Amino acid sequence: MRPVLDYSEEENARRHAGLTEALSAGAEFLTSGGNSLGAVQRAVRVLENAPDFNAGRGAALTHEGHAELDASIMDGRNRCAGAVASLRRVKNPIDLARCVMERSRHVFLVGEGAEQYALRQGIVLIEPTYFVTEQRAKELQEAIEKESFSEAQASMQVSGTVGAVALDCNGNLAVATSTGGMTNKRYGRVGDSPLIGAGAYAENGLCAVSATGWGEYLIRAAVAHDVCARVKYAGEPVERAAKHVIEEVGRMGGYGGLIAVDAKGRIAMPYSSATMARGYAVAGKEAVVVLGDRPDAAKQ
């Protein structure tokens, strides 16, 4: 079952503006001499702050009405990575994910422990009510009212992720992914977004990949790593590798999409979900943003 999301013209205008701002933030950082890691962090931070995306403020809500946030980041130069999950007070989870990668001995921190670490590292914490928007509260109530269906169906009312991949002028690849997960989730559920190899993966010389969709299937298919593995071991172009991986998720019974860029700057953005807002920016050219709602519209 693929959730069908009907956005108004006003909502689509805000989503378009948010993606454009995120692309500009990343591209401007690269143009000024910054690296790919900083570019993806900046792009995702913009989307975490925009209430029309399922990450940070405006994230999907749990059954109890909380926003529980997950994020990951990976540096293709050395395959260092940082990830966080089940956060309720960290304003920008992607900042904490990078902090975990660069300042700790660990890769993955969760829940209260992650927020204690954030406090010690000077990461901005905020009241949980900041993340809750009227629209997400309405979606949660609608999902709860449909509880007569299976729990999985009720939980699938809203899903989504924000992510960014980048290639800098030195050939360095990086990825960042952030999400609020599924509406009406419970039991401490965590999806693919903070899992290195599932929701995010980057390796210099190959590609950087960020995934979105039904996390339980994306985890099982290790989608982000599988794209890179197909490029590395099978010699597939990134476009073909990405398409094959999304098709495999479909054969398993799931759906999703991904964005990827390879070491030569070639881009892939396939998806099988009902919609996937996406965009890209190339040095010296105007950014492109697409809010298509058909899988065949994802051809770039």
Quick check: is 161 catalytic? Answer: yes
Tell me if 260 is assigned to some domain.
Answer: yes
Supply the pLDDT for residue 84. Answer: 98
Q: Is residue 37 part of a domain?
A: yes
Consecutive 10-residue runs of the chain (300 residues): their mean pLDDT?
67 95 96 97 98 97 97 98 98 98 98 98 97 96 78 53 97 98 95 98 98 97 98 98 98 97 97 94 90 49
* Residue of 20, 129, 161, 177 marked catalytic: 161
| Joined tokens for residue 296 | 């065949």
DSSP 121-142: TT--B--GGGG--HHHHHHHHH
pLDDT of residue 274: 87
**pLDDT number for residue 293:** 60
What is the reported pLDDT for 285?
85
Place of tokens 């999400």: 179
Helices and strands, counts by H and E, the chain: 9, 11
In a domain, 284, yes or no: yes
User: What residue spans of 53-133 are helical by DSSP H?
Assistant: 93-103, 111-120
How confident is the model at residue 257, as a pLDDT? 97
Predicted pLDDT at 296: 38
Q: What separation in angstroms does the CA of 24 have from each of 93, 172, 279?
A: 20, 19, 11
- Measured CA to CA, the distance from residue 73 to residue 71 in angstroms comes to 7
Query: Domain containing 272: what range?
Result: 9-298
Within a domain: 1: no
- The pTM of this model reads 0.93
Q: Which residue reads 């921190």 in tokens?
A: 109
- pLDDT score of 294: 47
Q: How many domains, the chain?
A: 1
- Please report, for the domain that includes residue 256, its CATH number: 3.60.20.30
Which residues does 212 contact at the CB level (< 8 Å), separation at least 6? Answer: 159, 160, 161, 163, 179, 193, 199, 256, 257, 258, 271, 273, 276
